[in-house]
Structure 1
């Protein structure tokens, strides 16, 4: 590891030296040095504004000839230009653009210092202000990439899933499952802290958060030691809209569409040192139709082969809601507290009409069944959060203590109704009840103190207590109206409890050195103790405790013109969630049953990456290469049971390696038209490490995905925006999952001095049905499945704001608890889900 760090440092240093030598060779000493410098601060506070974008615009042509990005101290330097008349334009999210006076540059006036330039905070709520142009959708910072979702008008009427599909380095499938550069082991935070809303099931939770409520998405591919060790792919932080305004406001947003509708109301009030927020919304999905087809070739224990064909029509219905109340109190200049309570609910029903199963032996039909399947996924959750923050006269010094209590209740049931041989009446029924509850209490302490010469030291501690319960049972009944009788077998009916205690401490250190270099490194230690128990049996559930050291290193080098090169290493831990642990047998499809493994251990992943960011005439381009190595990967094990049933469980047997490259760019073609897009690709190699040829599996291949977004501002407050996203075939251990693409177009008109807006959107309007083909192959199983989804949608969006707010007081960072350490996935039908850490 030490050699690797030395190599990364030497490569970075070599690039720097090479750049300087080439620059020296090409320059002519006798010519004057052209340079414009200055320092950017926030008006009113005098604080520097790091990472502000600085452009040098030629007056005659109106083009950007050069640019720079302000450093940590707000200072910038623009070079590589000649004689002429110019204007410096400074922009940064949350502030009004600032333009300098016209500068005349000659050989005798080639070095200009603009001094201190103060940016004014953008009062977006003031009616008399008309903001021209648009901010960048994507920001590249030292340790993260930020997607500014509040500037994406195509998201009106959508949800967090629609937002994440536009974010570089992220991939979201049609079911809402999120992966970062090919890895689905991700820590998802809401406003920097864990929430029961995203803890039970990330894919479904994203549908509860309306796009209009999201301010930005932060993608952190190399988390520091401050973050929990969970999440092999990195961290996604969803930032919802906040305000530091005084006054009162009420905002109503709604959308009515062919396949979904939503209604949201958000109110805020701030007077003196206190502020209150109250919000709620509901989202309904309907008319979501589809189908699936399944063809399996199974080799049973006697060596003979059978073919099983399955098909059904599908219907999905969903209802989501979220309600929250927040309170802030600024005790005095150095003491601040905040508290919040949020409620969430999810009601999902999936129906498979006429699930037909036909079994063939040597092309002769030997069995045929027909059934209806009704799956209900119902949940509700509550979060209670408290945070106290103390600051000091010394700038940057801060202490905070946070607490979180979360509880989630989950019902995940299904009923299978099997028809008789005539396919006219119901002969029997099977019901699975799977009730769960998940409780979590967290306490976290964080301390930040600046040291001499721009150094920063952070350290803290955290403890998480979790308790999950799953009460599951199977019942059978004769005929359409017979009484259900519980199955007397502890394998099918039992109560499972899972207690987990995670205690952690961390230290992180950051410093600037050699003028343009920044180093941030840290170490985290986590100790986890687990106990599990089956109430109604002596089934084994002995899980040993374990401790892990989690190092992280980030190194960056600022180059000329605002360019930057970064290198990073970190280790991550992925604990299995109850989706993988829950021993409840999921037999919604009786030909393919799944059962969790309560003895699973965590995955361990080492991540390495190198990235380069550059600015070309005001447009940003980023290149990132990475390598990810995972040991003890949790992978499915499939075997064939009696009656040719495929049985799936999970083991720590996998070895995953991924080599990837990501390229994304944000291009401003003019003040009215912008274009941004990205291409992500990686080569994956997977191996389960089993020598037995009956179960051995390995696979490799390339996975590509890409996205493109365009925005054009029309006269009279009209806007048109379009987007598209596509993901290619994805490599899995025992097969592949098919690719897909989505696209949309949106028109938006603002009215009444921009208090309100109305728009029309269309999604996938040329595609009646999406077809996704998946493949599975083992020595005993070959399966090809086709899933169809009717995803064409048309919608009308409406938004209106009542009230007037004005900016008041400094922006204050609000800290909170963030638990991000659990691997999500498995069968998705657990009785309780342990929170993502």
Structure 2
């Protein structure tokens, strides 16, 4: 009862203050780009009592909301490197909306704060982390995969697979929307798209109801470049490196009147050598143990052309439309040399086989986007509609030559071909309705329709040297997936300190799987509700605590459902599971953000409980090759539950005006509980990864950057992965009166980015090592024209629009 009376007293005091106060609102933007300026300062000096000075700061959307007592004030809005906006002797008797307040760059001040005003590589926000690609020297001349490798909370393993907080089920969006560019072959595509096309990457670990429920690990939102300056402007980038990495790209923009034309177009040739080995010991109770060593050398050569072209048309002050076309053409030539040696129980060599695979790959994607935005009379009242259509075709053809020199000399040829065709249609509508000054309601729909076919053919050679179709290994796989989603969410702000965003999303999924010539025509239909809760409390002026909850889903990829065996080698094959069900997760996140003059500190504690978790099981099939070697099968299953706990730290520190440090540390534990065929696969895994990013401004306009990364060891029910360390270095120098920049970077300086795994089962033991890409040196040159100089860019440049929630209620 006493606690209730205390809470009631506090509420009445707050209510009494609210009755004797007024609210001042407005939005602060950059005058040139019209982008919002977050953390701009609003200062009110009382003319009635000189001792009273109050104010506040703008939020992530440049909006301020300040409660003051009625009176006479001098009002100013200030932001570093901008001219202040002032209003003298203002009589404030009632709540007032100042509308949009534009601030212009102060060029004289920029000369004095060249380094202090520099835009950081990493921006820490309450609901997300934003990684600004343009400020990272180590990714110039690289790919999107290189970019993600430097993003806080994100790790990229030796094979290019992306994980967030140690969870590999990550939803990757382009400009806030799903895209065929990063569909089910996301790893491969991310290694082809140039980093020069990317403006920034948003890491969203507690998404609101507006976002897809897909992705139990969270969302990575990749924002493409789109210029906003008037006139014709842009930049050109050329790079060369070793192993062969040569490319050129252009980022151009032309704005005139109501039209804005923009494009990012580039070509790249890359040769990525890699290597791996497996050492396997087969265990048996009836025959002596045998041993097998496999060594692989890979060369992946790719010619990639990417182009994104768009037109933005402002019909009037209330209506605008944006159309864009993305085209990607990738021509690959891959060669894999596989050396296999077999030994008996006495370690005596009994067989030696050389297997050479030459693969030609052609991959084409074309994607059309059309966006319409209507703004109603009330500020923040908006309707947006988007339509997207994409078509992706992959044609892979391989010739395999297998030469056996022991125990007998023989040569066998085999041909493989894979033709995959995928079509996607995406329709999305979002409606935002503000209710008063601090509340808003949102509702929307998203429909994703996907149709994919995969034609896989195997041809063997007969005694006469002619090729014939192997019907046992050839299959035609058809897969369709339709997802219809509806959402509503409500956001409000209490007493100027508490933000609340509540949402509910429902997703209806229809999946169909069919294999020609195979007795399978499976259909799955399921619908679920996905609630989201995001709370934020401003403890002080630069101190905030957040609490987030959301429910997520992980749908199996089409390959996971295809029951037809896909041979990885003569002794290993992958087989999908058409009975695989989706996995669901409940995710909780508590965050804390504190900003000082030179330090920004962000930490999170998170917990995730997942059911029907996917796990890959390796087991002996009981079949033998012609040489008598056991054939192993790897397949995904739903393996009970997985509980994940984690603690995350991120710190930005500027000890001097010329030195910036960013570091993040992620520690997580996974407790897997499940059994399969009366065998327990329970596993506990504690792992961690950390990253240190240091950037130093040296004399003569030279910048030096170092990125250190270490991923600790991890394990699951059958595999134990060793730790991995890597180092990236980069130098850059501005030339040609700051219009040009020359950069030199080294990726994986010590050539140590290798994945080492030990696998233990009842039938075999295996030791593996895989290096997907070797050390890379890259030299790049960037030339800018009709753009702000370096000092203006570092403070004033803003670019790209994500699929953010509106009105400061971001989740």
- Length-normalised TM-score, structure 2: 0.84
In structure 2, the partner of 1:773 is 756
Tell whether 2:580 aligns with 1:621: no
Tell whether 2:641 aligns with 1:655: yes
Tell me how far apart the structure 2 counterparts of residues 569 and 728 of structure 1 sit (CA, whole Å): 28
Report the Cα offset of residue 256 of structure 1.
Answer: 0.7
Structure 1 counterpart of 2:310, from 326, 341, 350: 326
1:625-636 equivalences in 2 (<5 Å): 625-636=605-616
Q: Per the alignment, do residues 611 and 386 of structure 1 end up closer, same or farther by CA in structure 2, a change over 3 Å counting? A: same
Tell me how far apart the structure 2 counterparts of residues 763 and 182 of structure 1 sit (CA, whole Å): 22
Structure 1 counterpart of 2:465, from 451, 476, 482: 482
Tell me how far apart the structure 2 counterparts of residues 812 and 727 of structure 1 sit (CA, whole Å): 32
Tell me how far apart the structure 2 counterparts of residues 349 and 635 of structure 1 sit (CA, whole Å): 32
Report the Cα offset of residue 424 of structure 1.
Answer: 10
1:670-749 equivalences in 2 (<5 Å): 670-690=656-676, 692-693=678-679, 696-749=680-733
SS in 2 for 1:488: coil
SS in 2 for 1:150: helix
Tell me how far apart the structure 2 counterparts of residues 445 and 714 of structure 1 sit (CA, whole Å): 49
In structure 1, the partner of 2:569 is 589
Alpha carbons 2:154, 2:164 under 8 Å: kept? yes
Which deviations, in whole Å up to 9, do the C-alpha atoms of 1:326-356 show, x marking residues without a partner?
1111111000001111111333444332422
Q: Per the alignment, do residues 301 and 238 of structure 1 end up closer, same or farther by CA in structure 2, a change over 3 Å counting? A: farther
Q: Per the alignment, do residues 815 and 624 of structure 1 end up closer, same or farther by CA in structure 2, a change over 3 Å counting? A: closer
Tell me how far apart the structure 2 counterparts of residues 139 and 592 of structure 1 sit (CA, whole Å): 45
Structure 2 counterpart of 1:90, from 72, 79, 89: 79
- Indicate the structure whose relative CO is greater, using CA pairs within 8 Å and at least 6 residues apart: 1
Report the Cα offset of residue 656 of structure 1.
Answer: 1.6
In structure 2, the partner of 1:824 is none
Which deviations, in whole Å up to 9, do the C-alpha atoms of 1:213-250 show, x marking residues without a partner?
22211011011111111011111001122222221124
SS in 2 for 1:192: coil
Q: Which runs of 5 or more structure 1 residues have no equivalent in the other structure?
A: 1-9, 18-36, 57-66, 78-86, 102-114, 819-837
Alpha carbons 1:250, 1:803 under 8 Å: kept? yes
Q: Per the alignment, do residues 764 and 634 of structure 1 end up closer, same or farther by CA in structure 2, a change over 3 Å counting? A: closer
Tell me how far apart the structure 1 counterparts of residues 333 and 36 of structure 2 sit (CA, whole Å): 49
Report the Cα offset of residue 786 of structure 1.
Answer: 1.9
1:63-462 equivalences in 2 (<5 Å): 70-71=58-59, 73-74=63-64, 90-91=79-80, 96-97=81-82, 120=103, 132=115, 133-259=117-243, 260-286=245-271, 288-299=272-283, 305-361=289-345, 363=347, 365-421=349-405, 427-462=411-446
SS in 2 for 1:284: strand
- Length-normalised TM-score, structure 1: 0.81
Q: Per the alignment, do residues 269 and 578 of structure 1 end up closer, same or farther by CA in structure 2, a change over 3 Å counting? A: same
1:802-821 equivalences in 2 (<5 Å): 802-803=785-786
Tell me how far apart the structure 2 counterparts of residues 211 and 452 of structure 1 sit (CA, whole Å): 42
Which deviations, in whole Å up to 9, do the C-alpha atoms of 1:347-406 show, x marking residues without a partner?
344433242231434645554433223345542111111111100110001001111111
Alpha-carbon RMSD across the aligned residues, in angstroms, is 3.6
SS in 2 for 1:421: strand
Which deviations, in whole Å up to 9, do the C-alpha atoms of 1:17-58 show, x marking residues without a partner?
9xxxxxxxxxxxxxxxxxxx99873366999957416699xx
SS in 2 for 1:197: helix
Structure 2 counterpart of 1:568, from 534, 539, 548: 548
Report the Cα offset of residue 121 of structure 1.
Answer: 5.3
Q: Which runs of 5 or more structure 2 residues have no equivalent in the other structure?
A: 11-23, 44-54, 68-75, 87-97, 625-629, 806-811
Report the Cα offset of residue 708 of structure 1.
Answer: 1.1
In structure 2, the partner of 1:578 is 558
SS in 2 for 1:597: coil
Tell me how far apart the structure 2 counterparts of residues 548 and 208 of structure 1 sit (CA, whole Å): 35
Alpha carbons 1:427, 1:478 under 8 Å: kept? no
Q: Per the alignment, do residues 610 and 130 of structure 1 end up closer, same or farther by CA in structure 2, a change over 3 Å counting? A: closer
Report the Cα offset of residue 680 of structure 1.
Answer: 0.9
Report the Cα offset of residue 122 of structure 1.
Answer: 5.6
Q: Per the alignment, do residues 562 and 68 of structure 1 end up closer, same or farther by CA in structure 2, a change over 3 Å counting? A: farther
Tell me how far apart the structure 1 counterparts of residues 285 and 502 of structure 2 sit (CA, whole Å): 54
SS in 1 for 2:145: helix
Which deviations, in whole Å up to 9, do the C-alpha atoms of 1:732-777 show, x marking residues without a partner?
3321233322222222121222211112223333x24544311112
Q: Per the alignment, do residues 728 and 121 of structure 1 end up closer, same or farther by CA in structure 2, a change over 3 Å counting? A: farther
Which deviations, in whole Å up to 9, do the C-alpha atoms of 1:800-833 show, x marking residues without a partner?
12345899xx999867899xxxxxxxxxxxxxxx
Q: Per the alignment, do residues 192 and 426 of structure 1 end up closer, same or farther by CA in structure 2, a change over 3 Å counting? A: farther
Report the Cα offset of residue 284 of structure 1.
Answer: 2.0
Report the Cα offset of residue 193 of structure 1.
Answer: 1.6
Q: Per the alignment, do residues 390 and 593 of structure 1 end up closer, same or farther by CA in structure 2, a change over 3 Å counting? A: same
In structure 1, the partner of 2:779 is 796
Tell me how far apart the structure 2 counterparts of residues 420 and 46 of structure 1 sit (CA, whole Å): 66
